[in-house]
Structure 1
Amino acid sequence: MRQTLLAGLSFQFLTVVLPAQKGSVLPAEKSAYRDPLSGIEVLELTQKGKPDNLYYHFPNFTADGKQLIFADDRGQGSQVYSLDVESGRIRQLTEGEGVSAHSACPHPGDARRLFYLRGPRVFELNPETLAEKQLGEIPAPRAGGYGQPTLSHDGKSLAVAKQVDERQWEVGLMSIETGAYRTVVRTGFRIGHVQHHPSEPVIFYVWETGGYAPQRTWLVNSDGSANRPFYASVDPKKWVTPLKEWVTHESWVRGTGQMTMILDKIGILIVNLDGTSRMIDGDYWHVAGSPDGKKLAADDHRGGLFLIDPAAGSRRLLAAGLRDGDRGVHAHASFSPDGRYLIFNTGRVKKALAWIDLHGLDR
Structure 2
Amino acid sequence: MLQKIKCAFTIGILISASVLFTAGAHAQIGNRFPSEKKMVKDPVTGTMLTFLTSTPHGDSKIYPTHPQWTSDGQWLIFRSGRVKGEALAVHEKTGEMVQVTEGGYAGMLNIAQKSMKLYFMRNLPGNEEQPRQNRPLEIVEVDLAKLFADSKAGKVKAAATYQRVCGTTPPEMGAGGDMALDADEEWVYFRVGQEEAARHLAQNTKIETNFGPRNMGAGPSGLAAMNVKTGALKHVVSVPFQVGHIQTNPWVPGEIIFCWETGGKSPQRTWTVQADGAGLRPLYPESEYEWVTHEAVITQDEVAFAIMGHRKVGTGSAAATASAASDPTNPGQEAGWGPSGTREKPTGLGIVNLRTREMTIAGQTPSGSGLWHVHGSPDGKWAVGDDFSRSVYLIDRHTREMLMLTTGHKTTAADHPHPTFSRDGTKFQIQSAMLSEDNRSMNICIVPVPDAWLKRTHKSAKK
Q: Which interval holds the TM-score relative to the shorter structure?
A: 0.7 to 0.9
Look up the match of 1:269.
350
Quote how far apart the aligned CAs of 1:144 are. Answer: 4.8
Quote how far apart the aligned CAs of 1:142 are. Answer: 3.2
- Give the direction of change, closer, same or farther, for the CA distance of 1:295–1:352 in structure 2 (3 Å limit): same
Task: Give yes or no for contact 1:69–1:83 (8 Å, CA) kept in 2.
Answer: yes
Look up the match of 1:253.
298
Is residue 353 of structure 1 aligned with residue 444 of structure 2? Answer: yes
Task: Extract unaligned runs of 5+ from structure 1.
Answer: 1-16, 235-242
- Give the direction of change, closer, same or farther, for the CA distance of 1:173–1:246 in structure 2 (3 Å limit): same
Post-superposition Cα deviations, 1:168-206, rounded to whole Å, max 9, x if no partner, equal 321122212112111110123210011223325332111
TM-score by length of 2: 0.67
Q: Secondary structure at the match of 1:288?
A: strand
Structure number with higher helix proportion? 2
- Which residue, 394, 407, 421 being the options, matches 1:320? 407
- Give the direction of change, closer, same or farther, for the CA distance of 1:206–1:161 in structure 2 (3 Å limit): same
Look up the match of 1:37.
44
Look up the match of 1:280.
362
TM-score by length of 1: 0.85
Quote how far apart the aligned CAs of 1:362 are. Answer: 7.3
Look up the match of 1:67.
75
Post-superposition Cα deviations, 1:279-329, rounded to whole Å, max 9, x if no partner, equal 1341101111112121112111111111111121111111110125x3332
Quote how far apart the aligned CAs of 1:229 are. Answer: 2.0
One-letter code of the match for 1:90?
A: M
Look up the match of 2:226.
174
Task: Give yes or no for contact 1:135–1:178 (8 Å, CA) kept in 2.
Answer: yes
Is residue 128 of structure 1 aligned with residue 145 of structure 2? Answer: yes
Quote how far apart the aligned CAs of 1:232 are. Answer: 4.1
- Which residue, 271, 278, 299 being the options, matches 1:225? 278
Look up the match of 2:256.
203
One-letter code of the match for 1:38?
A: T
Quote how far apart the aligned CAs of 1:38 are. Answer: 1.4
Task: Extract unaligned runs of 5+ from structure 2.
Answer: 1-23, 124-136, 148-161, 196-217, 310-346, 365-369, 437-441, 455-463
Q: Secondary structure at the match of 1:215?
A: coil
Quote how far apart the aligned CAs of 1:95 are. Answer: 2.3
Look up the match of 1:107.
112
Q: Secondary structure at the match of 2:301?
A: coil
Identity of aligned pairs, percent?
29
Look up the match of 2:57.
49
Structure number with higher strand proportion? 1
One-letter code of the match for 2:30?
A: G
- Which residue, 117, 122, 132 being the options, matches 2:121? 117
Q: Secondary structure at the match of 1:128?
A: helix
Task: Give yes or no for contact 1:262–1:284 (8 Å, CA) kept in 2.
Answer: yes
One-letter code of the match for 2:425?
A: G
- Give the direction of change, closer, same or farther, for the CA distance of 1:226–1:360 in structure 2 (3 Å limit): closer
Task: Give yes or no for contact 2:363–2:395 (8 Å, CA) kept in 1.
Answer: no
Q: Secondary structure at the match of 1:268?
A: strand
Task: Give yes or no for contact 2:413–2:432 (8 Å, CA) kept in 1.
Answer: no
Task: Give yes or no for contact 2:248–2:255 (8 Å, CA) kept in 1.
Answer: yes
Tell me how far apart the structure 2 counterparts of residues 219 and 20 of structure 1 sit (CA, whole Å): 39
Q: Secondary structure at the match of 2:362?
A: strand
Tell me how far apart the structure 1 counterparts of residues 295 and 169 of structure 2 sit (CA, whole Å): 25
Give me the CA root mean square deviation. Answer: 2.2
Look up the match of 1:338.
424
Tell me how far apart the structure 1 counterparts of residues 449 and 308 of structure 2 sit (CA, whole Å): 27
One-letter code of the match for 1:321?
A: G
Q: Secondary structure at the match of 1:129?
A: helix
Quote how far apart the aligned CAs of 1:233 are. Answer: 4.6
One-letter code of the match for 1:301?
A: F
- Give the direction of change, closer, same or farther, for the CA distance of 1:362–1:189 in structure 2 (3 Å limit): closer
Tell me how far apart the structure 2 counterparts of residues 54 and 138 of structure 1 sit (CA, whole Å): 23
Task: Give yes or no for contact 2:268–2:286 (8 Å, CA) kept in 1.
Answer: no
- Which residue, 26, 32, 56 being the options, matches 1:19? 26
One-letter code of the match for 1:223?
A: D
Name the larger-Rg structure.
Answer: 1
Quote how far apart the aligned CAs of 1:77 are. Answer: 2.0
Tell me how far apart the structure 2 counterparts of residues 246 and 23 of structure 1 sit (CA, whole Å): 43
Task: Give yes or no for contact 1:232–1:277 (8 Å, CA) kept in 2.
Answer: no
Look up the match of 2:390.
303
- Give the direction of change, closer, same or farther, for the CA distance of 1:155–1:143 in structure 2 (3 Å limit): closer
Tell me how far apart the structure 1 counterparts of residues 248 and 51 of structure 2 sit (CA, whole Å): 31
Look up the match of 2:173.
142
Quote how far apart the aligned CAs of 1:218 are. Answer: 1.5
Tell me how far apart the structure 2 counterparts of residues 150 and 66 of structure 1 sit (CA, whole Å): 21
Tell me how far apart the structure 2 counterparts of residues 217 and 95 of structure 1 sit (CA, whole Å): 34
- Give the direction of change, closer, same or farther, for the CA distance of 1:357–1:231 in structure 2 (3 Å limit): closer
Task: Give yes or no for contact 2:236–2:275 (8 Å, CA) kept in 1.
Answer: yes
Task: Give yes or no for contact 1:49–1:72 (8 Å, CA) kept in 2.
Answer: yes
Look up the match of 2:328.
none
- Give the direction of change, closer, same or farther, for the CA distance of 1:355–1:361 in structure 2 (3 Å limit): farther
One-letter code of the match for 2:428?
A: L
- Which residue, 289, 292, 299 being the options, matches 1:244? 289
Quote how far apart the aligned CAs of 1:164 are. Answer: 3.6
Tell me how far apart the structure 1 counterparts of residues 96 and 293 of structure 2 sit (CA, whole Å): 35
Task: Give yes or no for contact 2:268–2:285 (8 Å, CA) kept in 1.
Answer: no
Tell me how far apart the structure 2 counterparts of residues 276 and 251 of structure 1 sit (CA, whole Å): 16
Tell me how far apart the structure 2 counterparts of residues 202 and 65 of structure 1 sit (CA, whole Å): 24
